[in-house]
């Protein structure tokens, strides 16, 4: 079969580490229905697996080799570099796993989606139902899916999917996403907002060979990668809250200690102005890593103004009942913190709305 070398097709990319004989079957099935280029990355599998990779190469795949195991993320980045250099006119690349977990029809359909002109990241999402998939995969995906929603605002029913479509336009950005192992695929999702890349999801078949015993996914470790975004927001908020409360207390003990009750409002506003600058800088550059500074600043200013009015107003109101301004301020700001996270995630440092194609 003649391998397509023009820009009309996507390149199929398969990272593989210590694959089974089933990989050969997968490659043969791809070749039966598609002439698209296939790039395989042997991620340091070793000499005992060279027979398998040799047969895959005989079927027309380009086999790239890592001398040692560097991780799935590193393998995908190697493939990205190769596709950019050797297939610069291609529409992009489709990533698939070597273990037969992806139906050949779904791999081909993913390629067709890119070839139809899709310019955002495309995910092939499976239908996870309890009892229909291995428990390890069900719970791992459930945890990461919910935490991805909490961390980014994106509803992604299958965060672990290895079947993805990456159009050529986003390959440079994907090459710079952090992570060398499994976390790379998670980071790809977490960074969509800051990279301003649209997300499209298409349904695919749910296949688990051997109850997915060969998976390298670690539910606890990889879920923590998603928790990290929320924890970073919490640390950012804790830092700015510390600045807010300490400055508020300092103003009460020095400048306003003999002033009227009404100066609680002024002390609260001054402290919030300083802490707001700290909070915006941390969230914009560290937590959400947004590049739309001007737009972020406008939206944050609106949110900040509302928060400042609420904080000062509630402080004044509650202080009439509980005349202990510092603990009251802490209590009020904790309540505001929860709403602030949800609003900043959805509106301030916002992600372009994902699309779901039921095709």
What is the CB neighbour count within 10 angstroms for residue 58?
A: 10
Average pLDDT over residues 217-235: 65
Structural domains of the chain ordered from first start: 11-217 (3.90.550.10), 228-348 (no CATH)
Do 116 and 156 meet the contact criterion of CB atoms below 8 Å apart? Answer: no
Do 22 and 100 meet the contact criterion of CB atoms below 8 Å apart? Answer: yes
Q: Could you tell me which residue, 31 or 313, shows the higher pLDDT?
A: 31
Confidence of residue 342 (pLDDT cuts 50, 70, 90): low
Average pLDDT over residues 202-211: 78
Nearest 5°: the CA angle 176, 348, 298 is 110
Confidence of residue 292 (pLDDT cuts 50, 70, 90): low
- Residue % of the chain over a pLDDT of 90: 39
Question: What integer pLDDT is reported at residue 303 of this predicted model?
Answer: 74
Question: What integer pLDDT is reported at residue 123 of this predicted model?
Answer: 97
Confidence of residue 10 (pLDDT cuts 50, 70, 90): very high
* Residues 269, 176: Cα–Cα separation, whole Å: 40
Question: What integer pLDDT is reported at residue 350 of this predicted model?
Answer: 55
Question: What integer pLDDT is reported at residue 359 of this predicted model?
Answer: 34
Q: For residue 108, give every residue at least 6 positions away whose Cβ sits within 8 Å of its Cβ, in sequence order, or none.
A: 33, 34
Q: Could you tell me which residue, 291 or 157, shows the higher pLDDT?
A: 157
Question: What integer pLDDT is reported at residue 354 of this predicted model?
Answer: 41
Question: What integer pLDDT is reported at residue 357 of this predicted model?
Answer: 40
Average pLDDT over residues 20-48: 95
Confidence of residue 7 (pLDDT cuts 50, 70, 90): low
Q: Quick check: 23 pLDDT over 80?
A: yes
Confidence of residue 356 (pLDDT cuts 50, 70, 90): very low
Q: 34-38, 60-64, 84-88, 222-226: which range is least confident on average?
A: 222-226
Question: What integer pLDDT is reported at residue 353 of this predicted model?
Answer: 41
Q: Reduce the secondary structure of the chain to three states and give it as a string.
A: CCCCCCCCCCEEEEEECCCCCHHHHHHHHHHHHCCCCEEEEEECCCHHHHHHHHHHHHCCCEEEEECCCCCHHHHHHHHHHHHHHHCCCCCEEEECCCCCCCCHHHHHHHHHHHHCCCCCEEEEECCCCECCECHHHHHHHHHHHHHHHHHHCCCCCCCCCCCEEEEHHHHHHHHCCCCCCCHHHHHHHHCHHHHCCCEEEEECCCCCHHHHCCCCCCHHHHHHHHHHHHHHHHHHHHHHHHHHHHHHHHHHHCCCCCCCCCHHHHHHHHHHHHHHHHHHHHHHHHHCCCCCHHHHHHHHHHHHHHHHHHHHHHHHHHHCCCCCHHHHHHHHHHHHHHHHHHHHHHHHCCCCCCEECCC
pLDDT tens-digit map of 263-283: 777 888 888 889 888 878 887
Confidence of residue 295 (pLDDT cuts 50, 70, 90): low
Q: 33-42, 116-125, 144-153, 209-218: which range is least confident on average?
A: 209-218
Task: Judge residue 33's burial from the number of C-beta atoms within 10 Å of its C-beta, 0-12 exposed, 13-18 middle, 19 or more buried.
Answer: exposed
The model carries a pTM of 0.69
Q: Write the CA distances from 53 to 10, 60, 136, 200, 221, integer angstroms.
A: 22, 11, 29, 32, 30
Average pLDDT over residues 202-231: 65
Question: What integer pLDDT is reported at residue 196 of this predicted model?
Answer: 84
Q: Quick check: 22 pLDDT over 70?
A: yes
Question: What integer pLDDT is reported at residue 200 of this predicted model?
Answer: 94
What is the CB neighbour count within 10 angstroms for residue 340?
A: 20
pLDDT tens-digit map of 300-337: 787 778 877 877 777 777 767 777 777 777 777 777 76
Q: 18-22, 103-107, 328-332: which range is least confident on average?
A: 328-332
Average pLDDT over residues 66-81: 95
Residue 15 forms beta bridges with which residues?
Answer: 41
Question: What integer pLDDT is reported at residue 74 of this predicted model?
Answer: 95
Average pLDDT, rounded, for the chain = 81
Residue 14 forms beta bridges with which residues?
Answer: 40
Task: Judge residue 130's burial from the number of C-beta atoms within 10 Å of its C-beta, 0-12 exposed, 13-18 middle, 19 or more buried.
Answer: exposed
- Residue % of the chain over a pLDDT of 70: 79
Q: Could you tell me which residue, 238 or 79, shows the higher pLDDT?
A: 79
Q: Which is nearest to 350 in space by CA: 301, 296, 277?
A: 296
Q: Quick check: 355 pLDDT over 50?
A: no
């Amino acid at each position: 079969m003649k391998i397509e070398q023009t820009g009309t097709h996507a390149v199929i990319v398969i990272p593989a580490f210590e694959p089974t004989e089933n990989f050969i079957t997968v490659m043969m099935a791809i070749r039966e229905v598609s002439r698209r280029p296939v790039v395989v990355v042997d991620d340091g599998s070793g000499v005992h697996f060279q027979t398998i990779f040799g047969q895959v190469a005989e079927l027309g795949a380009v086999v790239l080799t890592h001398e040692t195991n560097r991780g799935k993320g590193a393998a995908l980045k190697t493939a990205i570099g190769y596709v950019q250099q050797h297939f610069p006119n291609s529409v992009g690349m489709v990533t698939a796993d070597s273990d037969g977990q992806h139906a050949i029809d779904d791999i081909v359909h993913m390629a067709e989606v890119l070839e139809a002109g899709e310019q955002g990241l495309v995910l092939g999402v499976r239908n996870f139902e309890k009892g229909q998939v291995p428990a390890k995969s069900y719970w791992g995906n459930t945890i990461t899916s919910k935490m991805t929603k909490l961390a980014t605002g994106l509803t992604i029913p299958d965060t672990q999917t290895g079947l993805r479509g990456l159009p050529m336009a986003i390959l440079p950005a994907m090459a710079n996403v952090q992570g060398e192992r499994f976390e790379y695929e998670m980071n790809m999702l977490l960074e969509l907002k800051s990279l301003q890349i649209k997300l499209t999801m298409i349904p695919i078949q749910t296949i688990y060979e051997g109850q997915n015993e060969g998976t390298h996914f670690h539910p606890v470790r990889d879920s923590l990668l998603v928790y990290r975004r929320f924890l970073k927001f919490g640390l950012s908020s804790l830092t700015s809250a510390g600045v807010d409360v300490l400055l508020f207390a300092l103003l009460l003990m020095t400048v306003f200690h003999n002033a009227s009750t009404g100066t609680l409002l002024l002390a609260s506003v001054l402290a919030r102005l300083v802490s707001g600058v700290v909070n915006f800088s941390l969230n914009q550059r560290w937590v959400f890593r947004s590049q739309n500074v001007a737009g972020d600043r406008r939206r944050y200013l609106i949110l900040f103004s509302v928060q400042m009015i609420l904080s000062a107003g509630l402080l004044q109101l509650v202080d009439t009942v509980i005349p202990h301004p510092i603990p009251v301020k802490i209590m009020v700001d904790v309540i505001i913190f929860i709403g602030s996270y949800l609003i900043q995630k959805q509106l301030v440092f916002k992600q372009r709305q994902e699309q779901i194609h039921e095709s």
